[in-house]
Amino acid sequence: MHRIDVLDESTRLVRVESGASWGAVATALHPYGWAITSGDHGAVGVGGLATAGGIGLLGREQGLTIDRLRAADVVLADGRRLRASADEHPELFWGIRGAGFALGVVTAFEFTAGPVGLLGHARLVHDATDTAEFLQDWAAVAGSAPRDTTAFLTIGQPYGRKVIAQSTILVDSEDPGVIRDRLQPFADLAPSPAQRVGLVDYSDVVSEAGPSSPAYGEPVSRSGLLDRLTPAAARAAARLVTSGESYFFPLRAMGGAIADADPADTAFAHRSAAFQVVATGTEPDVLDRYWEPLRSQLSGLYVSFETDTRPERLAEAFPPDTLARLVALKRRYDPRNLFHDNFDLAPVL
C-alpha cells in the first residue's frame, strides 16, 4: 500500500497510501514542483508521522503534516471502512490528526501539497562547547526566523569536553541574497568549523537512507515540546548533552504556520510550542535522570519519538479538553480498545 496519485493538479490534491515513505512522496511530487512538509528523513513512513503531527523542515511555512491533510480512508476496530474529512465523520478526522494511533488504521491520506522551487539548504557545524549559551542563542535565531526558514539542530555525544552541534536549515528561496541573509545569523552564533550550503530539491533534503545504513536495537527516547527555551531549560539540556548519556539530541524549530491553527482544530493541540526536543539513549533510568529537569520546563509531549508510553504521560501529550474529546471518540469507534499498542488509553476510558 504505497501508491502516490495526483487527484487534482489544479488544487495540488494528492492521495498517498500509508505504506509509502516520505522520501518516495517527495520524489513523486518533485516533477510537479510541489512538496508536503514531512520529517527530516525520507525512510520514515507516511502512516505514523501523518497521524501524530509531522514536524518538518518546511514546517514554519506549511504547518504540520496533519495541517495539509484533507481526508483519510480509515479501517475501524470493527472492520468498517470509512472516509473521514471536514464533512464526513469530522470528529474522527479531528482525532486522526494527532492521535490516529488510538482510533483506527488509516489506509490512505489526501493531502494538499504546497508549491516549491529550488530551496536553500545548509548544514552548519558549530562549536557548541558553551552549550547552554549556544542553545539559547540558537533558539533565539531559529525562533525569530521568517516563515520561509526552518532550522533543526542536532547534537551528538561530546568529544571529550568539546560539544559539536549541527544546524540543518531549509530556506524556501532561490535567491542567493535571501539565503545568505537567513543563514548569516546561524553562522554568527559560534565558531563554525564546517559549512555546506547549496540549492536543492525538497526530495534531496529527505532522500531515503540506503540499505547500507540500517538501524538496529531499541533506543530509549524522550520527546517534549517547549513554548520557550528558557535559561533553565537551556541549562538542563546542556547538562543532558554534556553527560554523554544522550547520543542524539535534536531540537526542531516549530512556530510560524504551525501556530496558525487553533489548538482545538486537531488532536495535536500544542500549537504554542516553539521547539520540539528529543533525547535518545540506551538506559531509561539513566536517561530519565537527565531528562527530568528538562521535563519540568516542557509545555507538552510529542507522541512520535517517545518510548515511555505509560498512561501518566497521556496528560502531557493531550491537554484535558483534547483528552476528553479523544476518550469520547475512543468509546465510539474503539470501545474494546483494539488499538492499544502505542499510548494505551485504557486507564482513562
Q: Which residues bind ligand FAD (CB under 6 A)?
A: 18, 39-41, 44-45, 47-49, 51-56, 100-101, 105-106, 304-305, 341-342
Cβ 130 to ligand FAD, closest distance in Å? 26
Gap between the Cα atoms of 343 and 324, Å rounded: 15
User: Smaller CB distance to ligand FAD: residue 242 or 304?
Assistant: 304
User: Smaller CB distance to ligand FAD: residue 105 or 178?
Assistant: 105
DSSP state at residue 207: P
Cβ 143 to ligand FAD, closest distance in Å? 17
Determine the longest span between alpha carbons in the chain, in angstroms.
58
Per the CB < 8 A criterion, the answer to whether 39 and 206 are in contact is: yes
Ranges assigned E (strand) in the chain? 4-8, 13-17, 34-35, 69-75, 81-85, 105-112, 114-115, 119-127, 149-155, 164-171, 194-200, 220-226, 249-253, 275-281
User: Smaller CB distance to ligand FAD: residue 1 or 328?
Assistant: 1
User: Smaller CB distance to ligand FAD: residue 219 or 293?
Assistant: 219
What is the distance, to the nearest Å, from the Cα of residue 175 to the centroid of all Cα atoms in its chain? 27
User: Smaller CB distance to ligand FAD: residue 47 or 281?
Assistant: 47
Output the CA–CA distances (angstroms, integers) from residue 265 to 52, 60, 276, 304, in the order listed: 14, 17, 20, 19
Cβ 29 to ligand FAD, closest distance in Å? 17
Cβ 209 to ligand FAD, closest distance in Å? 8
Cα angle 135-137-140, degrees, rounded to a multiple of 5:
105
Residue whose beta carbon is closest to ligand FAD: 48
User: Smaller CB distance to ligand FAD: residue 42 or 120?
Assistant: 42
Cβ 276 to ligand FAD, closest distance in Å? 7
For the record, the C-alpha cell of 262 comes out as 487553533
Cβ 342 to ligand FAD, closest distance in Å? 4
* 120 three-state secondary structure: strand
Cβ 52 to ligand FAD, closest distance in Å? 5
User: Smaller CB distance to ligand FAD: residue 195 or 307?
Assistant: 307
Closest CA to 241 of 213, 271, 281: 281
User: Smaller CB distance to ligand FAD: residue 192 or 342?
Assistant: 342
Half-sphere exposure of 204 (CA within 13 A, CB side): 12
Cα angle 2-75-7, degrees, rounded to a multiple of 5:
45
For the record, the C-alpha cell of 112 comes out as 494538499
Cβ 341 to ligand FAD, closest distance in Å? 6
Residue 289 buriedness (CB in 10 A; 0-12 / 13-18 / 19+): middle
Cβ 44 to ligand FAD, closest distance in Å? 5
User: Smaller CB distance to ligand FAD: residue 74 or 190?
Assistant: 74
Half-sphere exposure of 281 (CA within 13 A, CB side): 19
